Structure 1
Amino acid sequence: MDAASSVGAALALTLQSAGTAASALVLSPTTSIPAGTQMSDHMQQTETAIVAGAVAVLHNNAAAAVMIASTRCPRRWWMRPRSTAWWDGFVMSVSSDEQWRLFFRMPRALFYRLVEELRPELEKTDTVMRRAIPVEKRVATALWVLAHRGSYKQIGQRFGVGAATAREVLVEFALAMRKHLLPRTVYLGSVHEIMDGFAELGFPQVVGAVDGCRCLIVPPLRQREQSANRMDSYSILLQGTCDHTGRFVDVEIGGIHKARVICNSAIFKGMEAGTFVPGNPTITMCGQQIGPLLLSNSDHPIRTWLMKPYPGATNDKERLFNENLNRAKRVAEKAFSRLKARWRFLTAPLHVGKENLIPIIASCVVLHNLCETKGRVLDEGHHYRRNSELPTPRAPLVDDEDEKKREGEAVREALAQFFHTGRT
């Protein structure tokens, strides 16, 4: 509100006050007319008093309005002005892929391809109040948050947006990544190529290595016990299955107990039903039929398709099996190390809403696959479709778990015999 508006408002208030005072003087029942005084003389005296009082009130209030207007702060802006010099200068002047990888973890060409993939979901329209943030800046802001783990305020200052806007941009980016790019970038791929890759690492018939990491979170109020782990911290489990190159072929996000998470996962049900690997290629080794395998650690149950190390290996055959399994499974451990090194947002407690945890973690997995393959998954993902149709589960038998454990141990024993003797 400017000075003229302030004075005008004060004058209007003054006139209203004067009118109220006049009405009180004229209509008050306590007002008496002196004896011997004509009615017209009394009315004239009353009007003169009213006008004199109104002028005095008007003068005093006008002076106060001028004083208030002279000390009032200038009108605030609709949107706080912020500098976008760093982002504008970087886009216009930096073309080195090395610098783009340093800041955004990917080369310039891959960055702009990602922008075009997400443009239909992230593009906004201008309004009469402000111009929309370009999609390029939205993607860059989200990548910077995930890569550098700074505060929203610091990141907002770098890109010329508010802290709340930076948080909103991150959530919208993660939701778009999960919706549009997760199915295209996280898939099994060529089964024979993956098996050949693991065979070169010393373990045949393998289509993936399973590992996981805990992402620290800020637990919701009154729900701390649901997120507490055995280390007395609050976290959510990211379980991933990787191929021989370290690319994720399946992810499960949620829960805190590894064995429970994998048993409830889609890949567990798909491997049990024989639908995860197309064709289920099988070989005979030491008299045992061996189909596609996943490699895991000792926290998971053993199955004919899920191999885990011998607990407390007591002889050379068991120790050799464990060495081969650990060597092949190391690709998953390294993949998780690269994931958290690139996207450092996962290395600190995630200050996001509970409903946004899974999309943000999933977006980091998608970005990992994009960087690992230099964007190749965007082209190949169209050719692979995950079969999500699973058979209706039957009621488990009493000794069903023991039977599956014995069958899994028989497959492990055949593989250990093969590694030890070299004969199929």
Structure 2
Amino acid sequence: MDEELKTINNDLNDALSKLLKSAPKCTESALQQRKRKIATLIRLHVRHLQQTVIVSRRRQQQRTRRRLKQLRSLFMQQMIELQSSYLQMFVMLRMKHAQLQHDEEMETVRDNINTAASDSNLATETVGQTLFWEHTIPQYSDEQFLDSLHVTRSTFKSLCNQLSSALHSVPDLTSTVGVILPDKCVGLALYFLASGERISIISEQFAIPRIHTIKCLKVFCNAVMASLGKALRRLPQSEADCANVVAGFKRECNMPAALVGVLGVCCIPLRCPRKQYAGISTLRMEFLLDDRMLFRELRLGNAHGTKAPLPPMFAEAPNLLKQLPPRCINNRLVPAFVLAPANQNYPLRPWLLQRYSDPVAPHEYDFNEVADHLQELSDCAMHRLMSRWRFLSQPLDISFQTASCIISAATVLHNLLEELSEPHMLEWGNTVDVSRFRSAPIDPRADASADVKQALEVRDFLARTISSTEI
């Protein structure tokens, strides 16, 4: 536009200069004609200026503003679209997170709210159905019964007879759908332990509301612990019992006759549906095994709770191990001891020995070889327990207290069935992987106890005894 103005001004200046140079030679009429031409040129010049300055510049400014407005509108539109997409994605992720986090809680809340309706509907629906316990289980063959409950029919009847008095005296074995008979309570509990199904599925199969199903499990476990727990879960204390256990370990792995048990540890995952147990995600299980892989002692703790973790089993004195009489080995009294699990940072005590962390001498390697073999027995015992009671092989959708009660009763029943030589099918353990339940080691602590020196001496003596008697 500036160039156009410059061109117009130049043209006008040229025309005026020509008129001025030719003016003296012109007549009056010619002069008037030239003046009219000058006026016409001035008008044209003014018109060109108006068109250039007022119209062209204005249009250019309008085009610029319109272009900026379009760009601004496009930018704002893209920003709005991005913000809308982000909000939609954020809302979707939040909803999915909330759904995954509160799925179990909402299921429990709905069950609690609709308990009465569920009871009545369940009672109505089961009238025309084939009831699982009343009709299906009695038609099973002996093999099918064993595969479903993991006990034989004769053992099931014997167990019902032993627990009937304890179960009859409990008022909790009643629900809105009727009275839960003792044999149905025992069958429900065994089917839950053996199948590994979730409690909601068990309650549907046995036509019992979820709340009453959990009560039935608790009543059964309390009855088992009251009737059989003391007889089947205890540390070897009598002289005859200790002699049998240490002799069994000596036959198994050439360990000198002072070992009364092998310690094991594992972690059972929990999937608690309630808010008050939301912080508990793992149940730590410590156990003591004898030479027949029976559970003699059991301790359950919360591995991720708010309370301080419990010290390792038998790590502190006094304890039951120190009450056992010492054993005489090669004319030397050796305290009765148990073998701690490897790589768990258990303290070293005369009654709580563990493998050499960095073996150097031949007798140290011999002791570690025996210790490793004994730890394999611990893994084997856990595999048998989890394959017999498959509810342990998956996260439990129950509270910490309920899980502790059921697991304690499950170990007692396992011991009972092992002593009765009940069948244990290999296919039960095809899907069980004990390595998934390895426990993380406890935090190492500085150990300044005076018992460490004696423990080292006892372990060296036992290691040299193993090397001298090795065939």
Superposition TM-score tier, normalisation by shorter sequence: 0.5 to 0.7
Identity over aligned pairs, percent = 23
Aligned to 2:156: 111
The DSSP-based 3-state class of the residue aligned with 1:196 is helix
Aligned to 1:197: 248
- CA distance in 1: counterparts of 2:376 and 2:122, whole angstroms: 54
Cα-to-partner distance string for 1:244-296 (whole Å, 9 max, x where unaligned)? 11111111111439x96454659964245x22x3xx142144x7531212111
Cα-to-partner distance string for 1:377-406 (whole Å, 9 max, x where unaligned)? xxxxxxxxxxxxxxxxxxxxxx99431111
TM-score by length of 2: 0.59
- CA distance in 2: counterparts of 1:350 and 1:326, whole angstroms: 30
The answer to whether the Cα contact below 8 Å between 1:284 and 1:290 also exists between their aligned partners in 2 is yes
Point out where structure 1 has 5 or more consecutive residues left out of the alignment: 1-75, 228-233, 377-398
The answer to whether the Cα contact below 8 Å between 1:317 and 1:416 also exists between their aligned partners in 2 is yes
98, 121, 144: which one aligns with 1:99: 144
1:2-401 superposed matches below 5 A: 79-82=123-126, 83-94=129-140, 96=142, 98-123=143-168, 131-189=178-236, 190-201=241-252, 202-204=254-256, 205-218=258-271, 221=275, 227=280, 234-256=281-303, 261=310, 263=312, 269-271=318-320, 274-275=322-323, 277=324, 280-285=325-330, 289-298=333-342, 299=344, 300-374=346-420, 401=448
Residue 208 of structure 1, CA deviation: 0.7
- CA distance in 1: counterparts of 2:302 and 2:358, whole angstroms: 28
Residue 146 of structure 1, CA deviation: 1.6
438, 455, 462: which one aligns with 1:408: 455
- CA distance in 2: counterparts of 1:361 and 1:408, whole angstroms: 33
Residue 117 of structure 1, CA deviation: 1.9
Cα-to-partner distance string for 1:307-366 (whole Å, 9 max, x where unaligned)? 200002233221111001221333222111111111121122221123322211101111
Change (3 A) 1:260 1:353: closer
- In terms of mean alpha carbon deviation, does 216-225 or 348-357 score higher? 216-225
Change (3 A) 1:422 1:106: same
The DSSP-based 3-state class of the residue aligned with 1:270 is coil
- In terms of mean alpha carbon deviation, does 293-302 or 129-138 score higher? 129-138
The answer to whether the Cα contact below 8 Å between 2:326 and 2:333 also exists between their aligned partners in 1 is no
The answer to whether the Cα contact below 8 Å between 2:355 and 2:367 also exists between their aligned partners in 1 is yes
Rg: which structure is higher?
2
The DSSP-based 3-state class of the residue aligned with 1:402 is coil
The answer to whether the Cα contact below 8 Å between 1:78 and 1:129 also exists between their aligned partners in 2 is no
The DSSP-based 3-state class of the residue aligned with 2:179 is coil
- In terms of mean alpha carbon deviation, does 333-342 or 117-126 score higher? 117-126
Change (3 A) 1:88 1:77: closer
The answer to whether the Cα contact below 8 Å between 1:302 and 1:308 also exists between their aligned partners in 2 is yes
The answer to whether the Cα contact below 8 Å between 1:103 and 1:144 also exists between their aligned partners in 2 is yes
- In terms of mean alpha carbon deviation, does 307-316 or 192-201 score higher? 307-316
RMSD: 3.2
Change (3 A) 1:291 1:129: closer
Point out where structure 2 has 5 or more consecutive residues left out of the alignment: 1-119, 423-445
- CA distance in 2: counterparts of 1:236 and 1:92, whole angstroms: 36
Change (3 A) 1:363 1:237: same
Cα-to-partner distance string for 1:32-77 (whole Å, 9 max, x where unaligned)? xxxxxxxxxxxxxxxxxxxxxxxxxxxxxxxxxxxxxxxxxxxx76
- CA distance in 2: counterparts of 1:417 and 1:172, whole angstroms: 51
The answer to whether the Cα contact below 8 Å between 1:294 and 1:307 also exists between their aligned partners in 2 is yes
The answer to whether the Cα contact below 8 Å between 2:286 and 2:313 also exists between their aligned partners in 1 is no
Aligned to 2:78: none
Change (3 A) 1:92 1:223: closer
Cα-to-partner distance string for 1:164-191 (whole Å, 9 max, x where unaligned)? 3323322222232233322122123511
The DSSP-based 3-state class of the residue aligned with 1:409 is helix
TM-score by length of 1: 0.65
The DSSP-based 3-state class of the residue aligned with 2:449 is helix
The DSSP-based 3-state class of the residue aligned with 1:254 is strand
Higher helix share: 2
The answer to whether the Cα contact below 8 Å between 1:84 and 1:159 also exists between their aligned partners in 2 is no
Change (3 A) 1:171 1:421: same
Residue 306 of structure 1, CA deviation: 1.4
- CA distance in 2: counterparts of 1:290 and 1:328, whole angstroms: 19
How many residue pairs get matched? 312
- CA distance in 1: counterparts of 2:235 and 2:175, whole angstroms: 48
Change (3 A) 1:284 1:195: closer
The DSSP-based 3-state class of the residue aligned with 1:302 is coil
- CA distance in 1: counterparts of 2:157 and 2:465, whole angstroms: 49
